[in-house]
Amino acid sequence: MEKNKGRDYQYLLEDFSEEKIRDRAAFLIKTARLLIKNLEVENHILINNELMEQAVIDYFADIKRLKDFHGMDKVDPAKIAAYMAHWVLKRKPLQIKVSVSEETYEKMPFLLDINEWFASYILISMLLDMRNRLVTDLETLRRWNSFNLTLIYFLIYRSVSPQALELATVAVTITPPYKLITEGGD
């Protein structure tokens, strides 16, 4: 009997195409490198290629199940962003180098949450075009900041599922058709 029969991922290449999976792997590697460069953490963070590859495989395997169950040809951007962010978060492909000092952690506390930030950036940028701001009023921007802070807290501390992220991505793209009841609380 062939070793690993029925356990390989050849079907993903056939279902999605080599090009799509190759591009997605390159996208994650390129975005991770950019994040590391722009946060100026090249000396402290490295990319684990195997974990990055696993995130891509898990993403496509998950999307394949979703497509098969729901009879979808392709999935929409909300699902792409949510499932991609989820698997990045789950696999945690960015690793802290062992030699990081206490002073560096004090200066860059986000190092401890680097995968959560990466997942958050993936979620937002795969959904919204951050080069084109549509709204400049302070109230909307305040809500946007609040969403960002709630999102990162959720990614770090809460039980995250791709379905919950999908709901969040759908919610963030709507303009509420009704007025909020109140800004206050109990």
Partner 1 sequence: MSKFWDMVDAETKAKAEDFIKRIKSKKIVKRVLPNVSMDYPLDKAFKSFEALTESKEQREIMNSHYTGADGEK
Does residue 71 contact residue 153 with C-beta atoms inside 8 Å?
no
Tell me how far apart the alpha carbons of residues 17 and 52 are, in angstroms, rounded to a whole number: 19
State the Cα angle at 90 between 153 and 117, rounded to 5°: 40
Q: Which residues contact 185 (CB under 8 A, 6 or more apart)?
A: none
Q: Identify which of residues 136 and 175 has a Cβ nearer to partner 1 in the complex.
A: 136
Q: Identify which of residues 8 and 17 has a Cβ nearer to partner 1 in the complex.
A: 17
What SS3 string covers 31-93? HHHHHHHHCCCCCCEEECHHHHHHHHHHHHHHHHHHHHHHCCCCCCHHHHHHHHHHHHHHHCC
**C-alpha count within 13 angstroms, C-beta hemisphere, residue 100:** 19
Nearest approach in angstroms of CB 45 to partner 1 is 13
Residues interacting with partner 1, by CB under 8 A? 23-24, 27, 30-31, 34-35, 38-39, 66, 69-77, 79-80, 109-110, 117, 121-122, 124-126, 128-131, 142, 145-146, 148-149, 152-153
Q: Identify which of residues 4 and 132 has a Cβ nearer to partner 1 in the complex.
A: 132
Q: Identify which of residues 24 and 92 has a Cβ nearer to partner 1 in the complex.
A: 24
Q: Identify which of residues 24 and 64 has a Cβ nearer to partner 1 in the complex.
A: 24
Nearest approach in angstroms of CB 179 to partner 1 is 20
Strand partners, 47: 94
Nearest approach in angstroms of CB 48 to partner 1 is 19
Nearest approach in angstroms of CB 69 to partner 1 is 7
Nearest approach in angstroms of CB 164 to partner 1 is 14
